[in-house]
Structure 1
């Protein structure tokens, strides 16, 4: 993932969908949302909460709503990109600016802001236990100092590491992921720290 110093850098770097993304950006900023750079791209916030994000992909450009599951969607524009996995996030995808009716999109953005003000959101379960996969436990058994380093990490960082190992399907992938994270754990660096805003 490319690293940008500002949202302007992000937009200037866009090759395929620059004009379309600029138009969506203008619309979103006009609603009063604050533009921030998170996870390598622009995220628009209200009262410190993520409301929408923008990005261009190979075959479409889009806008996503972090708590889009609660939007009314009378125009049937919202999709769940990962059914069964994604709970709150919903996307709108477009291939031309003409498809992206800015007046309609504005109503969705304003509703998302209103929902945030009302506290309507799926909250992350911070109390869910962290289950350390057997592969990582085996490494801890051989290296108690590494286990101590792991225990000193924030719960979010611990969860990211355990899910990273657990989600690998192949043993070879688990092994290469373990090799990658061991130095990070020793340094006290989380898997996704560099993307945190």
Structure 2
């Protein structure tokens, strides 16, 4: 594996406790996945394999971290919610590292996941609530077939823009004016923020 000089510099400027940990992790990745490439991601050392992120490490004031991009899949602990500490928590000494054979198996599994294809399953941290069309807008759409057709064809996010604009109105008169404007724009095939989409 070709060494990235930026990682040499990163390790050199870390605290005394962190340098041996980072060096050991770097050596382990090189040994167990020689086809991985060293790089810097988000200001910290990382490794890619077949152009996909494999793992990364970082050092902080009082601890170091190491983690796999597809952490839960690599470790098999799918029910655990990992935080910024990666899969091995806050490491402060070499004793905090898993043994070389265990670490090697995990690195191999991370590479196998990339080889097998597929992507990281992502979940929204704050899922959006179900989109509920206000009754006044629904009634107006029923009386305007062209507008209703456009509204139905819009993406969920574009429909949400109209709904939120209307429901955020503090007065009935404002709400009614917004509904009338929405129906006019929708009848012309326009999204809520059509003015900003034009370049």
**TM-score of the pair, normalised by structure 2:** 0.51
Deviation at 1:61, TM superposition (A): 1.6
What stretches of structure 2 of length at least 5 have no aligned partner?
124-154, 166-192
Aligned twin of 1:25: 26
- Rate the CA distance shift 1:19–1:72 in 2: closer, same or farther, 3 A: closer
Deviation at 1:58, TM superposition (A): 3.3
For the pair shown, which has the larger CA radius of gyration, 1 or 2?
2
| 2-structure distance, mates of 1:91, 1:40 | 19
Aligned twin of 1:57: 60
RMSD, aligned α-carbons: 3.6
Task: Give the structure, 1 or 2, with the largest relative contact order (CA under 8 Å, sep 6 or more).
Answer: 1
Aligned twin of 2:95: 98
Deviation at 1:52, TM superposition (A): 0.3
Aligned twin of 1:10: 10
**Count of residue pairs the alignment pairs up:** 126
- Rate the CA distance shift 1:69–1:129 in 2: closer, same or farther, 3 A: farther
| 1-structure distance, mates of 2:94, 2:24 | 8
| 1-structure distance, mates of 2:87, 2:62 | 14
- Rate the CA distance shift 1:40–1:71 in 2: closer, same or farther, 3 A: same
Q: 2:114 aligns with which of 98, 113, 116?
A: 116
| 1-structure distance, mates of 2:28, 2:54 | 14
The answer to whether the 8 A contact 2:57-2:66 is kept is yes
Greater mean alpha carbon deviation, residues 114-123 or residues 43-52: 114-123
The answer to whether the 8 A contact 1:79-1:92 is kept is no
Deviation at 1:91, TM superposition (A): 2.1
| 2-structure distance, mates of 1:102, 1:128 | 48
| 1-structure distance, mates of 2:14, 2:7 | 11
Deviation at 1:102, TM superposition (A): 2.2
| 2-structure distance, mates of 1:123, 1:81 | 14
| 2-structure distance, mates of 1:104, 1:22 | 17
Q: Deviations over 1:13-57 (max 9, x none)?
A: 111401111111011122221101121111101100001001122
- Rate the CA distance shift 1:23–1:123 in 2: closer, same or farther, 3 A: same
- Rate the CA distance shift 1:151–1:12 in 2: closer, same or farther, 3 A: farther
- Rate the CA distance shift 1:123–1:151 in 2: closer, same or farther, 3 A: farther
Moved over 2 A (4+): 57-60, 78-82, 127-134
